[in-house]
Chain A
Amino acid sequence: MGNPLLAFWENLFRRDDDQRRIRRDTFRVAATSAAQASATIFLILRRMRAPLIVLIVIFSVSVLGLTVIPGEDAEGRPWDMGFFDAFYVMSYTATTIGFGEIPYPFTYNQRMWVTISIYLTVVGWAYAIGSLLALFQDRAFRSALALQHFSRKVARLREPFLLIAGYGRTGELLAHSFDRLGRRFVVLDLSDERIDGLELASYRADVPGLAADARDPGHLAVAGLGHTCCEAVVALTDDEEANLAIVMAAALLRPELPVIARVTSRTIAERMQAFGSPSTVNAFDRFGDHLRLALRAPSSFQLLTWLESGPGAEVPSRGLPPRSGRWIVCGYGRLGREVTADLRAEGMDVTVIEDRPVDVDGADLLVGDGSDPWVMAQADLDQAVGLVAGTDNDTTNLSLVAAARRSNPSLFLAARQNRPDNAPLFAAMEVDALLVPTEVVAHEVYAQLSTPLLWRFLRDMPALGDAWARELVDRLTGVCGTHLQELWKVRLTPQEAPALDGWLASGTAQLGTLLRNPDDRDDSLHLVTLLVLRGGEATLAPGDDFVLRPGDELLLAGWPAARRALAMILVVDGVLEYVVTGRRVPSSWIWRRLRPAAEANG
């Protein structure tokens, strides 16, 4: 038996040189940033010098004056005020509290001096307090305080967290999905308003947020890039250069961390690939891929969008896009280019409408403004099967969709929504496929990070065909209803499933036998097994007769109650015995002792 203390010690101190170097580097970067913050505080202290010295001088002169000026006691005998009395009188006078003439009524000499000191000390206090308040209002001081507060909060995190750089619409969507999963994250954004918005966003967990430029590696380090609990970095700013800078910093300082970045151009994506292997998400590229999948396998597409939307999402309707015919693409920007290429790869004819002559790589080109009825008439909408309204102007896209629907109601309509405010308009328009770039990116990042198994499932799933996907969607809706319930992962290791050890090793452990209700084994649990991963090999939606082995990883979707029940089966010996064999086994020690005797007698 190994010495557990020794093992603990090894775990604590065994770090190879590489890791040590990384920790040192990130620590150094974070220290620079923290030093900047403390520099501001030193500056503030320096600025308080003058008001404080003025206050001390005024106070000491007034006190000294009172002790020197001769006074009288109650009987009119000469009496000199001591330092304590003088300090007491000046303290309450200067702070405008004014208890009066203590301990004896003042002489005229003293009153003259006190009159002068009142004006002096009030000015001194006002100057000191005014300077202090002005400093608290100071922008640099406040941001230095915020930085210190933030770095303390991040350093205290003791569970895995995600570093989200860029908290725009995409970051917000992603943050909410992760919060629903009970995962922690740290947010960096350039804008103060968005960071203030964090407090109003009503997350379950406390979210540390800092308004700072994520391009600065120091800020990234303060936000937890060097933290041992940081599990991934997501670059979602709307600035390509900033995203590249974040990918670079993460790759150089923590090469082993997964990085996901949002990109809109292929050039930047390729520049990012030079740094390790960050995962890049291009919303327009993904939309083109999704459109292709929707054309080829509508049910696979339906399953993909449903699972990507996260817990609580409603099952999307299954679109039926036309499989052959001519498509019209309005707007040949980044989206138009991707969609045209994808549609042509699927064997469709494409007509591009763009208001300036461009090289459309072999497709038909119609030069003109798409929202102009005359141009639309030329495009032969009657003969077309689908239309993509992909300009970067929401008003144009909406009017394109409306015009197209009027001239040909059977058209398949795809539209791009640029601004989140216009969501209700697009929803009312009921287009067949809607691209919201921010949502595409958020869903994609969610799928990659929520559990690696889901990402594996979504990548392997399209290969299994449309009929298979339709059957799985039916099974899922049968078990979960029209809203996606929980999605979770179970690892059949001795740590996570101690009760299953012997049973798994027996080689007869069938999946269908395990997933039974612990109260009544005739019922199966309300969950669907999406994927079993063994080694590097994945089995998608395995049947009830699938034989489990130790070390398998399962991806499951189903009701929270089923999740709790399964957790009980995995941990409690007696429950597994009942679920597998139908025999009730007592769980307490005394009953287990008594049971064999009772069975022998009976």
Chain B
Amino acid sequence: MNLEKVVFGFFVVLAATLNFGFFLGDIDNPALHNPYELFAAVVVNLIATVLKFGDRTQIGAVHLATSLVADLQLIGAALVFGYAEYVSTAGMNPSWTASVVSLSGGALLANIVSIVLLVVETVSFHRG
């Protein structure tokens, strides 16, 4: 067992699960989407991205690309969240909530691709 692989898999999967947890629930109901969960998703996604730095293989490059997409989407969601809370006069109404959740939904897709890559890598390793 390789400790580096454990840590890598842990963060990739945790990033996806946190993201999924935030995404789950009615898209326009702010009560069902916890900001702490979004914060945790952003942080874990950033860590997963840094862990993917410096891998020269083709699959490593795609891994990094999906992570960067997820970061972009989640940070976008966090910015929209902040704008709705502090700047917008309407506050966190259903339409803002829908924007935030849909952005995090995009990130979830990228995270799922990441997990698929992880699984593919593992399976092909066992066969080879």
B50–A42 touching, CB < 8 Å? no
Q: How far apart are B94's CB and chain A's nearest CB, in angstroms? A: 20
Closest to B81 in A: A83
CA distance A44 to B54 in the complex (A): 8
Q: Compute how far the CA of A47 lies from the CA of B54 in the bound complex, rounded to whole angstroms.
A: 8
Q: Is B82 a contact of A83 with CB atoms below 8 Å?
A: yes
Closest chain B CB from A561 CB (angstroms): 60
Determine which of A44, A45, A67, A84 lies in contact with B82 in the assembled complex, contact meaning CB atoms within 8 Å.
Answer: A84
Quick one: closest B residue to A84, CB to CB?
A: B82
Check: A39 CB closer than 8 A to any chain B CB.
Answer: yes
- Looking at A49-57, A278-286, A451-459, the stretch in contact with chain B turns out to be A49-57
CA distance A38 to B61 in the complex (A): 14
Proximity bits, B46-67, A CB within 8 Å = 1, else 0: 1100110111100000000000
CB distance from B22 to the nearest CB of A (A): 13
- A56 & B43 in contact (Cβ 8 Å cutoff): yes
Taking a contact as CB atoms under 8 Å apart, the answer to whether B50 and A83 are in contact is no
Contact of A49 among B35, B36, B50, B78 (CB under 8 A): B50
B26 at the interface (CB under 8 A from A): no
Is A543 close to B, CB under 8 A?
Answer: no
Bound Cα distance A299, B3 (Å): 82
Pairwise interchain contact B56-A83, C-beta atoms closer than 8 A? no
A63 / chain B contacts, CB cutoff of 8 Å = 39
Instruction: Please state if B54 and A49 are interface contacts (CB–CB under 8 Å).
Output: yes
A48 close to chain B: CB less than 8 A = yes
Residues of B within 8 Å of A43, CB to CB, are 54
A60 within 8 A of B: yes
Whether A46 contacts B54 by the Cβ 8 Å rule is yes
Assess whether B86 is interfacial by the CB under 8 Å rule: yes
Q: Does A22 contact B (CB under 8 A)?
A: no
A83 CB contact (under 8 Å) in B39, B46, B53, B54: B39
Expressed in whole angstroms, the minimum distance between the Cβ of B74 and any Cβ of chain A is: 13
**Known A48-B53, A49-B51; contact A60-B86, beta-carbon cutoff 8 A:** no
Please measure, in the bound complex, the distance between the C-alpha atom of A83 and the C-alpha atom of B86, giving whole angstroms: 11
B85 touches A56 (CB 8 A): no
With A83-B35, A83-B78 as given contacts, are A53 and B50 in contact (CB-CB < 8 Å)?
A: yes
Look across to chain A and name the residue whose beta carbon is closest to the beta carbon of B35.
A83
A229 on interface, CB distance cutoff 8 Å:
no
Residues of A close to B51: CB separation below 8 A: 49, 53
Known interface pairs A63-B39, A83-B39; A45-B78 also in contact (CB < 8 Å): no
* B50: chain A residues within 8 A (beta carbon): 48-49, 52-53, 56
Q: Is A197 on the interface with B (CB-CB < 8 A)?
A: no
A49 to B51, CA, bound (A): 6
Classify chain B's interface size: 10 to 19
| Closest CB in chain A relative to B42 CB, distance in Å | 8
**Quick check: is A64 within 8 A (CB to CB) of the other chain?**
yes
In the complex, what distance in Å separates the CA atom of A49 from the CA atom of B81? Answer: 29
- Inter-subunit contact B56/A39 (CB<8 Å): yes
Q: How far is the CA of A572 from the CA of B65 in the complex (A)?
A: 61
Cβ of A494 < 8 Å from any Cβ of B? no
Contacts of B86 in A (CB 8 A): 82, 84
Contacts of B39 in A (CB 8 A): 60, 63-64, 67, 83
Complex Cα gap A48–B81 (Å) = 30
B82 surroundings in chain A (CB, below 8 A): 82-84
Kindly supply a per-residue 1/0 record for chain A positions 49-84, scoring 1 wherever the CB is within 8 Å of any chain B CB and 0 otherwise: 100110011001001100100000000000000111
Known contacts: A53-B51, A64-B39. The answer to whether A84 contacts B56 by CB under 8 A is: no
Residue in A closest to B46 when the chains form the complex, CB atoms: A56
Q: Contact: B53 with A84, CB < 8 Å?
A: no
Kindly supply a per-residue 1/0 record for chain A positions 453-480, scoring 1 wherever the CB is within 8 Å of any chain B CB and 0 otherwise: 0000000000000000000000000000
Note all chain B residues with C-beta closer than 8 A to A44: 54
| A45 adjacent to B54 (CB under 8 Å) | yes
CA of A546 to CA of B54 in the docked complex: distance in angstroms?
Answer: 71
Set of chain B residues within 8 Å of A48, measured between Cβ atoms: 50, 53-54
B24-38 Cβ-contact flags toward A at 8 Å (1 or 0): 000000000001100
Contact B54 A42 (CB under 8 A): yes
Asked if residues A46 and B53 are in contact (CB atoms below 8 Å), the reply is yes
Check A84–B46 contact: CB distance below 8 A.
no
Task: Knowing A60-B39, A64-B39, say if A82 contacts B54 (CB, 8 Å).
Answer: no
Q: Mark A279-296, 1 if CB is under 8 A from B, else 0.
A: 000000000000000000
Question: Is the pair A56, B54 in contact by a Cβ cutoff of 8 Å?
Answer: no
* Chain B residues in 8 Å Cβ range of A49: 50-51, 53-54
Q: In the complex the two chains form, is A56's CB within 8 Å of B47's CB?
A: yes
Contacting residues, chain B, for A57 (C-beta < 8 A)? 43, 47
Taking CB atoms, residues of chain B closer than 8 Å to A45 are 53-54
A314 to chain B, nearest CB (A): 58
Cβ of B35: which chain A residues have Cβ within 8 Å of it? 83
Q: Is the CB of A82 within 8 A of B53?
A: no
User: Which residues does chain B contribute within 8 Å of A47, judged by CB atoms?
Assistant: 54
Q: Which residues of A contact B54 (CB under 8 A)?
A: 42-49
- Shortest Cβ gap from B67 to chain A (Å): 13
Q: How far is the CB of A45 from chain B (nearest CB, A)?
A: 4
Give the nearest-CB partner of A43 in chain B: B54
Residues of B with Cβ closer than 8 Å to A? 35-36, 39, 43, 46-47, 50-51, 53-56, 78, 81-82, 85-86
Lowest 3 A-B CB distances belong to which pairs?
Answer: A46-B54, A45-B54, A60-B43
4 extra A-B contacts, CB within 8 A, seeds A57-B47, A82-B82, A84-B82: A49-B54, A82-B86, A83-B35, A83-B82
22 of the cross-chain contacts (CB-CB < 8 Å) are A39-B56, A42-B54, A43-B54, A44-B54, A45-B54, A46-B53, A48-B53, A48-B54, A49-B50, A49-B51, A52-B50, A53-B51, A56-B43, A57-B43, A60-B43, A63-B39, A64-B36, A82-B85, A83-B35, A83-B78, A83-B81, A84-B82
